[in-house]
Structures are given as C-alpha cells and as structure tokens.
A and B are shown apart, each in its own frame.
Chain A
Amino acid sequence: MEKYRVIIDGKEFLVEIEGDRVWFDGQEVYAGIHFLNDDGLFMIERDESKREFHIKLRDEDTFQVTTRGLQTEAVVEPERRRRKKAKDSTDSGMIKAPIPGVVMNVAVSEGDLVEANQVLVVLESMKMLMEFKAPFAGIVDKIKVVKGQNVEKGDEMVMLLESPSD
C-alpha cells in the first residue's frame, strides 16, 4: 500500500492506494484517474462524479491544482519518502544522479563553502538541463564527477558536509 499526505491550505489529508482500491482519510472511496492529455489534464472518477483537473508542478512537492471553480496549491508527500527524507538530512549530503545523463557543469570545487540551494552540478538528460542544488549550507567534501562525464542512475556526484553550527 502506498500512502500520500496531501496538504492544502494548511489542512492535511491522507490518501492510501493499493492496486485499484483507494482510501481517503481512512475511508474507502471508489476513485479512478483518466489522463486526458500529456499536459497535466485528467479526469477523476469518484462514485458518480466525474471531474476535470489540471495539475502543474510548481516545485519538488508543490502542485498547482485547477478544477472547475477552484485553484489551489497542494503539497504531496509520499509517506516512504518522508521517512527517507528525514533519514537523509541526518545521514549524508551525498548528491546522486537520479537519472542517467551527462554532467554539463560542476559549479563548485572541493573545499568550497556553499549556501543552501546553491547550484552544485548541472546534468543534461533527455535534452533538458537539471540543476542539483545544495540541500543545506555546508562544505563541498568530495567531487566525484567531471564535466562531460556520463553518469548512470544512482552514481555519486558530490559529497556535501554540514558546516559546524556557530
């Protein structure tokens, strides 16, 4: 079973999905999704209601949801990732390639002090550029890739260490 926490306007909802079965805040609902185009437009069937939605990714977790008479922002956090995230932040600052690609630029050097959200590496994949930013302020400990290098999914790119708090 997959669990998703959805936060809209400060209200939190829990959606659980297993196969074709869906639970909303613990209660089973009959709901399904049909994609209407490749650009975020789809239809949700829920009992007798069939409603059109449009979803646009704002950033990592935040989506702009548009439907008849409502436009709002939803933050979606899958349960497992939430746990993983919590572990990550105490664990390591290892930046890995999430997809295969080519390193277009390494924007830092070992020993550099970086701010949170500072760009570390730029990867090209599927003809698009993807920036990898520092998840926290810290020191660049190790750089394991060079410009022009091909990377596979899961390859380690940059190791970041948290700055000692002052």
Chain B
Amino acid sequence: MKILIANRGEIAVRIIRACRDLGYTSVAIYSDRDREALHTRYADEAVYVGPTPAYQSYLNIDSVLAAARKVGADAIHPGYGFLSENNVFAEKVEAAGIIFIGPSPGAIALTGDKLAARSIAADAGVPVLPGSEFNLSGREIPKAIGEEIGYPVLVKAVSGGGGRGIRLAHSDAELAQMVTAASQEAKLAFGDDQVYIEKFIRPARHIEVQILGDGLGNVLVIGERECSIQRRHQKLIEESPAPGLDKETRARLYDAARQVGLALNYRSLGTVEFLLDTNQNFYFIEVNPRIQVEHPVTEMVTGIDLVNAQILLAASGCLTLQQDQIRMRGTAIEARIIAEDPDQSFMPTSGQISYLQIPSGSGIRVDTALYQGMWISTDYDSLIAKLIVWGEDRATAIRRIIGALDDFNIAGLTTDLGYLRDIVRSEEYLSGQVDTMYLETFQSTDPIDAENLVREAALAAALYIHKMVKCSEAQINADVNQWRTAAWREQMVGFF
C-alpha cells in the first residue's frame, strides 16, 4: 500500500509516521520552498508539485493528482487545511481510482455548507442556536429577524472557516452593515458571499467531539476536547477531557455527535463542534470533515492512534474498534507553538532557527517539522510545532506542560512560547473556568521568577561578551554567525 500525503509541515510528518507504523510506503509532495523540508526528507518518496505559493503546489489539484499517478499511489491522505475539505478534489481522487482517506465527497460538501449542516443537525434532534435558516446576503433582511433571535447575533459565512467571514451585530442597524461586511469577506475568502445569522451566546465554552464512522451506519465517539482558549477564533490551547464537564452532559454531547455522524452517514475521522453555555446547554456549530490539528490530545487520553485508525479504515473499509473499547484516562493538553509575535499584534514572524531545544520526558510529545537551521517563511501556516502532554490528572498535566514549555526553546525567530507560558500559569486556566472570550481580556503577567531570570540573562550576556573578546582567535569558527561575532570581537579588541 502506497500513500501520498497531500500536505506539508508537522501534519505531513505525523502521517508519514503512521504509514511507517502500518508498514505502508509514504510519498511526500513538496513545493520549491520545501525542497529541504523535513516532510520531504522523511517520506519514502517525495514528488515536486510546483512553486512556493500554495495555489500553485499544495492547492493545485491537477499537480497533486499527477504526482499520485506518477508514483502509483493507492491512497491520498489530505491532512488538514489545503485540499482536505475540498469535495471536488475528493471526487477527482476517487474518480482516478485512488482511495481518498477522508469522508465521501458528498459529506464534505454538506459539512462545508454551514446552513445545510445546521439543518441536518436540527433534523437529527441536535440542538442548534436560534438563527436564520436561509442566506441573508443580497436580499432584503426580514424585519424583526434580529429581534426574534435576540441580539447580539453572529453573522457567519455559509462556506466559512478559519474565523473569516464572521461579524457580531447588536442591533437592526448594525445587522444590515455586518451582513454586507461579512458577505464581502466571505466572497473574497471562499468565493461564496452567502451568510446567515445565529444567536451569539456568552460566556460559552467550545467543546468538540471526535467521531470515526465507517460510512455504513456505524459511528464511534472517541472522547471530547475543550478548545475554549482561542484568539480570534483560532485555537491556541486544547485539552481532553473537558474540565468539570458532568457525566450527564458528556453523555448527551456524545449522543448528539453520534446523531450528526449517523445523519451524514459519516465515513472517516470527523469532529462535531458545540458551544456549551453556563447552564450546560449545548448547541451544534459545525462538523470538521478531517483530522484536526488538536487530535493528539485525544490520542493521549484514549491510547488510540487516530491517524492509524483512519488509514486502516480507508484501506479495509471496516472499523477495527468497538465503542466499549474506547476509554479515557488522565488529562492531555496541547499548546500550539506559532511563528507570531504576541507583542506586535500577533504578526507572523520569519527567520532562521539558530537554536532549538525540544522538550522530552514521560508524558511529553512534540509534533513538529522544525530543525535547526530551518528557514521559517510566511508562505505557509504559522503553526510550527505542537506540544502535547499527558498527566494522570489535570493538575499533573498542567505542571508537566509548564515544565515542558520552559524546556521548549527556539532562537532565531519570535514565537508565542512566552504567551503560552503565561496562559498555562494563569489562575483562570488552572481553575478550568475559561470561556471562548478569555484571551480577549487576557493580560500577560510576568512569571514569579522573571526578575531573577532577567538578572541571570544579564550576567550571562556580559560573561559571554567578555569571553568572546578575550578568547584567542584560534577559537573563532569561520561560519557565518560566528564570523559576525568574531568581527564584533575584533572591533572590540581595538578598544581594550
């Protein structure tokens, strides 16, 4: 069995590892920028698919299909992002006689249409938020619809995703404006200007349920994930199980997720997302028809390798697991290490990794495609690593992630590591009492030992410079970084 991985970065490496586990041959695809990337080197084979811009390479359906034909791939794993939720791609893959490791093209199309998914969920008896059942863009907005639903309301793109095409409206006047704004943004982002509205509830938690279906009427529920720590609809820290969720609510959530899966006759891995209010009422948001970024937390608490299971299901057509075999133990937490500068309004950063220290130890997992010397550009997603920890209980897991984040050091470009360290140390996080608006008001505070650390850093810098100035020329290496230091040292020598 030969599997082409139509993706890059950490998820491509993750999927290649699953192929190795299963004894399958892995094929990577790469763009110009990724000629030396880890996934390119890591796979058994690697095929060039086009220039650096994603639309010419990783999003280029013809090019990816040509690569699959060239190597004689039996299956294609799309990962997340890129072509993973593109039903046209899935159709073409299947038409080419290649297994698409994901849902049926029809299910992808249905989940991509948020209004359709909403009505499928509602028909299956799953609670949805009060909202419009039809597109509001390019037509007269029915009077009183906002009042009936109750302000504030969220205007959302029918083909939405990634937090784009979403606007909040507090009144009829604002609603008209926001419908226009959201539909323009949606048109640009997704090529579809349709929008609908939904009641906006706060405070609310974002909780999602992992499902695995065989497309033959069997749907397994593989635990839930709490993903309330988000910044502008982008998840930053996830954990499983959701802290403080009572048994009865969890059972209702699982049942709702299963009903949605059954209604879609779902095949492969999927995630059913819900909002949970303070009264333990939950509402369906959407289905993500692919492997999620945050899937490792589920793997850590259940011991199930989701990607292996997904590939095996695609290869054999039947589930190898039963619901009563699925148990959760302990707590797992994931933190996303992103090439963004929290002090510069989270602008993407770039640079060359000059030093990399990756944490390890019991209950610690790092999914990444980083290596020392790698150039991080802003051509692709800014997610550069995921740190996942597991602990016997939540308190242990938190202590473990605090230690592991301190052990995670990347020099050469700015990342959100310091920001993540501050979040996992905050009282609200420790108490498990955070909602989706938490990061909107979150203020980083200096860790207790920051002053000491800064003093140590000051001492270290001075000792380092002193040593560099004093040490003999023979010790100076001629490589680039070192040369700059050497030149600096030379300049200094004249002054002593």
The interface bits of chain A over 65-77 (1 if a CB of B lies within 8 angstroms of the residue's CB, else 0) are 1111111101010
Inter-chain contacts of A55 with B (CB < 8 A): 460-461, 464
User: Within the complex, what minimum Cβ distance (angstroms) separates B18 from chain A?
Assistant: 32
- Report yes or no: A127 in contact with B478, Cβ–Cβ below 8 A: yes
What's the count of A-B pairs with C-beta under 8 Å? 159
One digit per residue, 1 when the CB lies within 8 angstroms of any chain A CB and 0 when it does not, for chain B 467-496 equals: 101000000011111111111101110111
Is there an interface contact between A68 and B465, defined as CB atoms closer than 8 Å?
no
- Cross-chain contact A98 with B494 (CB below 8 angstroms): yes
Query: A6, B464: Cβ atoms under 8 Å?
Result: no
| A146 CB contacts on chain B under 8 angstroms | none
Q: Which residues of B contact A166 (CB under 8 A)?
A: none
Q: Are A38 and B482 in contact (CB under 8 A)?
A: yes
Report how far A127 CA is from B487 CA in the complex, Å.
12
What residue of chain B has the Cβ atom nearest to residue A62's Cβ? B461
CA distance A65 to B467 in the complex (A): 16
Size category, A interface:
35 or more
Min distance, Cβ A160 to any Cβ of chain B, angstroms: 17
**Inside 8 A of B217's CB, which chain A residues have their CB?**
none
Select one of A8, A17, A39, A69 contacting B481, CB under 8 A: A39
Chain B residues with CB under 8 A of A128: 478, 480, 483, 487
Are A81 and B495 closer than 8 Å at their CB atoms? yes
Contact between chains at A4 and B465 (CB < 8 Å) = yes
Greatest chain B CB density within 10 A among A70, A99, A128, A130 is at A70
Which residues in A have their C-beta under 8 angstroms from that of B488? 57, 60
B contact patch SS: helix
Q: Judge whether B487 and A98 touch: CB under 8 Å.
A: yes
Asked if B460 and A53 make an inter-chain contact with CB atoms under 8 angstroms apart, the answer reads: yes
CB-contacts of A116-164 with B (<8 A): 125-128, 130, 153-154
Asked whether B355 lies within 8 Å of A54 as measured between CB atoms, the reply is yes
Contact status B483-A154, CB under 8 Å: no
Contact code string A90-115 (vs B, CB < 8 Å = 1, else 0) = 00000000110000000000000000
Is the CB–CB distance between B459 and A44 below 8 Å? yes
Interface residues of B in 229-258 (CB under 8 A from A): none
* CA A60 to CA B484, docked complex, whole Å: 9
CB of A53 within 8 A of CB of B354, answer: no
A2 interface residue (CB < 8 Å to B): yes
List chain A residues, Cβ under 8 A from B491.
98
Bound complex: CA of A69 vs CA of B407, how far in Å? Answer: 7
Provide the bound-state CA to CA distance between A78 and B458, in Å: 13
Which of B412, B460, B490, B494 is most buried by chain A, counting CB atoms within 10 A of its CB?
A: B460
Q: Are B478 and A72 in contact (CB under 8 A)?
A: no
Q: Measuring CB to CB, which residues of chain B are less than 8 angstroms from any residue of chain A? A: 354-355, 357, 405-407, 409-412, 417-418, 421, 447, 449-450, 453-467, 469, 477-488, 490-492, 494-496
Q: A9-B454, A66-B410 are in contact. List 7 more A-B contacts (CB 8 A).
A: A38-B482, A40-B481, A53-B460, A63-B461, A63-B465, A70-B454, A78-B492
Q: CB within 8 Å of B: which residues of A?
A: 2, 4, 6, 8-9, 11, 13, 15, 17, 22, 24, 29, 31-33, 35, 38-42, 44, 46, 49, 51, 53-57, 60, 63-72, 74, 76, 78, 80-81, 84, 98-99, 125-128, 130, 153-154
What are the 6 closest A-B residue pairs judged by CB atoms, nearest first?
A15-B462, A69-B406, A6-B458, A4-B462, A13-B458, A74-B461
